[in-house]
Amino acid sequence: DFLYALENDIKPAFGASEEALTTYMARGIIAWGDPVHHLLEDGNLLIQQAKSPESSGLVSVLLEGPPNSGKTALAAFLAKNSGFPFVKVCTPEDMIGFTESAKCLTIRKTFDDAYKSTMSCIVVDNLERLIDYGPVGPRYSNLTLQALLVLLKKQPPRGRQLLVICTSSRRQVLEDLELIFTFTAVLHVPCLSKSEHLLRVLEETDVFSKRELLNISNKTKDRRVFIGIRKLLAMVDMARQTEEQFRTLKFLSRLEEEGSLEMVA
């Protein structure tokens, strides 16, 4: 019957999302520095607010930061550990080649499903892709934008609590489109910016030896670093393929070439 179907619909949805959530943090969450801690704290406070029955039924958070800074992984982490029984992911990866209206329907369905649960959490990944933002023109799907503008402010039905976690690497675009003003809170996800951050990540991966790490530490100390966690992990992958004798050198020179490590004056 209908109720049974409904439950069925929700369960696999949740299951699928759980798997997706795990994929998004395939390489775990490395606590590479204070910014990570602060962000998780702030995230936690908003989760508590979203859970409180005394609050308004809707809390919406935007995680924004440069490409590769780890936004999607952090959104997945927060959602998974929020304690919300219903978690759903809304990602452009599932809507490739969709028409505007198919996209809107999919997004809307996610929210409508969420409204059926007492407590639910929706991760909306990569807002700029979801609205088909093309920088030349610029172009964007106004239909999808309008849907998000409405859904991110729409009060869930009486007695329902909804937490929405969005990610984006185009803060300015969201401001221009006035989408940013719909959020309860906007949290910034930064890149690694210090030698210590870098070292913390390299320690967690098993590519460099103790001595190599010391060497890297000496060579990068007091130099400005600017690299997203995702990019850094890819460069560590590359270092893994490099012959041991050139590894440290090549790794550092690649960081410099990409502009991720301040040149020595």
Residues in contact with a copy of itself by CB under 8 A are: 23, 26-27, 45, 48-49, 52, 54-56, 67, 92-93, 96-97, 99, 101, 104-105, 107-108, 126, 129, 132, 134-140, 142-143, 145-147, 149-151, 154-155, 157-158, 176-178, 181, 184, 233-234, 237-238, 240-242
Binding of Mg ion by 82 (CB under 5 A): no
* Helix or strand (DSSP H, E) at 124: strand 119-124
User: Please, where are the H alpha helices in the chain?
Assistant: 2-24, 34-51, 71-80, 100-116, 127-130, 142-151, 171-176, 195-204, 210-220, 229-241, 244-257
* Residue list 89-128, contact with ligand ATP (CB under 6 A): 126
Binding of Mg ion by 72 (CB under 5 A): yes
Binding of ligand ATP by 10 (CB under 6 A): no
Comparing CB distances to ligand ATP, the nearer of 26 and 136 is 26
Angle in degrees, CA 242, 248, 253, rounded to 5? 90
Measured between alpha carbons, how far is 18 from 23 in angstroms, rounded to an integer?
Answer: 9
* Helix or strand (DSSP H, E) at 121: strand 119-124
Nearest distance from C-beta of residue 126 to ligand ATP, angstroms: 6
Comparing CB distances to ligand ATP, the nearer of 11 and 27 is 27
Measured between alpha carbons, how far is 140 from 129 in angstroms, rounded to an integer?
Answer: 9
Binding of ligand ATP by 36 (CB under 6 A): yes
Binding of ligand ATP by 163 (CB under 6 A): no
The pair phi, psi for residue 79, each rounded to 5°, is: -60, -40
Residue ranges that bind ligand ATP, judged by CB under 6 A: 25-30, 32, 36, 67-74, 126, 153, 167, 169, 229-230, 233
